[in-house]
């Protein structure tokens, strides 16, 4: 790991631990220790297993989408690239920072760079579609439930749903009309070229036109010829988010508390959307505060701090460990290739 990456890792861990200590300080009392006497640790192991299964569905999504484009990438390779991606996502602002790792690893498996990029970007679009549909369902069907969380988060869910839906629709429109995407990226390139010299404008413009055309042709082929891969990828995406959302209910069972399935789906949707905003490395600190605030409506005050620690241990700290193992596999492979 590079020096800069180690620095970001320590910043991310430090910020998360600082927030967790603060939450524990304000929530743990004498009744906490009484409640902890009824703990069943087997549920915590089950929760970790569910998380690993969710990651397997993520890998399965990449596997199906790769096959949709005509590539035969081993599932074990897809699973390891998902693990390696977790470490980068944990130390970069927002939790959506592992895309370059996934593109690189797909390329190493024989997938063309343009196709690998299309797969990874389409992954995020599928996430957006699933989260957007989930948000619409919660707003229009389960409105009375999610409004219990608080008016601030209710309004945020409305705004987030509109933004996600707009981004997905804009992306689909730009795929159909690549000239729009070229114009948008060209505007950005011109501003960048001003900083590096106007003589670079034509160079950037040509590269953008070429890459947008390649990207458009790949996605067009994906949509026309890889429909099965997209459909199966969508199903895997739905399973991934569902499994990640029920982990809290499994932890609550381990704490001898009743599960809160529907409410968890709503809360996890809001947390997933907010932590994708590049504010802190891996969403650390922000996720803990959001979690304790929203689950505090349903969980006893004396247990909320313990619940946050267990939840982040499974969905964040275990990701760093699993990501380190996945990265180690890649490093050993690259070292063997050089020899």
3-state SS of 133-180 is HHHHHHHHCCHHHHHHHCHHHHHHHHHHHHHHHHHHHHHHHHHHCHHH
Backbone phi, psi, residue 297, to 5°: -70, -30
Arithmetic mean of pLDDT, 311-337: 86
Q: Which single residue is written with the structure tokens 């929203």? A: 294
pLDDT tens digits, residue range 26-83? 778 777 777 778 888 899 999 999 999 999 999 999 999 999 888 999 999 999 999 9
pLDDT at 1: 56
Residue 19 has pLDDT above 70, yes or no: yes
Q: Note whether 111 and 221 are within 8 A (CB).
A: no
pLDDT tens digits, residue range 154-209? 666 677 667 777 777 777 776 677 776 667 666 666 666 565 555 566 666 677 67
pLDDT tens digits, residue range 88-100? 877 776 555 678 8
CA distance 158 to 136: 9
Decide which of 106 and 170 is more confident.
106
Q: Note whether 329 and 78 are within 8 A (CB).
A: no
Instruction: Name beta bridge partners: 94.
Output: 281
Arithmetic mean of pLDDT, 258-263: 82
Q: Note whether 300 and 256 are within 8 A (CB).
A: no
pLDDT at 314: 92
pLDDT at 93: 63
pLDDT-above-90 percentage for the chain: 20
Residue 239 has pLDDT above 90, yes or no: yes
Decide which of 118 and 173 is more confident.
118
Decide which of 6 and 57 is more confident.
57
The pLDDT confidence band at residue 105, using thresholds 50, 70 and 90, is very high
C-alpha torsion sign, points 170, 123, 332, 334? negative
Arithmetic mean of pLDDT, 127-145: 72
């Amino acid at each position: 790991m590079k020096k800069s990456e180690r620095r970001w890792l320590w910043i991310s861990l430090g910020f998360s631990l600082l927030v967790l200590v603060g939450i524990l300080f304000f929530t743990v009392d004498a009744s906490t220790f009484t409640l902890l006497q009824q703990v069943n640790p087997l549920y915590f192991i089950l929760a970790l297993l569910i998380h690993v299964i969710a990651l397997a569905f993520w890998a399965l999504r990449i596997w199906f989408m790769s096959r949709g484009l005509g590539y035969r990438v081993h599932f074990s390779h897809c699973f390891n690239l998902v693990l390696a991606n977790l470490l980068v996502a944990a130390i970069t602002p927002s939790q959506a920072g592992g895309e370059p790792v996934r593109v690189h690893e797909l390329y190493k498996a024989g997938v063309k760079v343009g196709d690998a990029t299309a797969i990874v970007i389409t992954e995020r679009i599928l996430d957006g579609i699933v989260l957007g549909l989930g948000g619409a369902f919660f707003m229009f069907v389960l409105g009375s439930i999610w409004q219990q969380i608080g008016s601030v988060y209710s309004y945020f869910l409305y705004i987030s749903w509109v933004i996600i839906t707009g981004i997905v629709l804009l992306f689909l429109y730009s795929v159909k009309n690549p000239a729009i995407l070229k114009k948008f990226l060209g505007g950005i390139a011109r501003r960048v070229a001003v900083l590096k010299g106007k003589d670079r404008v034509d160079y950037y413009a040509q590269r953008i036109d070429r890459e947008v055309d390649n990207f458009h042709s790949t996605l067009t082929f994906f949509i026309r010829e890889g429909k099965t891969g997209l459909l199966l990828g969508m199903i895997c995406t739905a399973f991934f988010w569902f499994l990640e959302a029920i982990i809290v209910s499994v932890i609550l069972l381990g704490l001898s508390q009743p599960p809160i399935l529907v409410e968890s789906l709503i809360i996890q949707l809001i947390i997933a959307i907010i932590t994708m905003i590049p504010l802190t490395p891996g969403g650390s600190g922000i996720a803990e505060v959001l979690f304790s605030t929203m689950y505090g409506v349903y969980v006893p005050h004396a247990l909320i701090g313990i619940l946050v620690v267990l939840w982040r241990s499974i969905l964040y700290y275990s990701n760093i460990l699993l990501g380190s193992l996945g990265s180690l596999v890649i490093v050993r492979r690259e070292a063997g290739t050089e020899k």
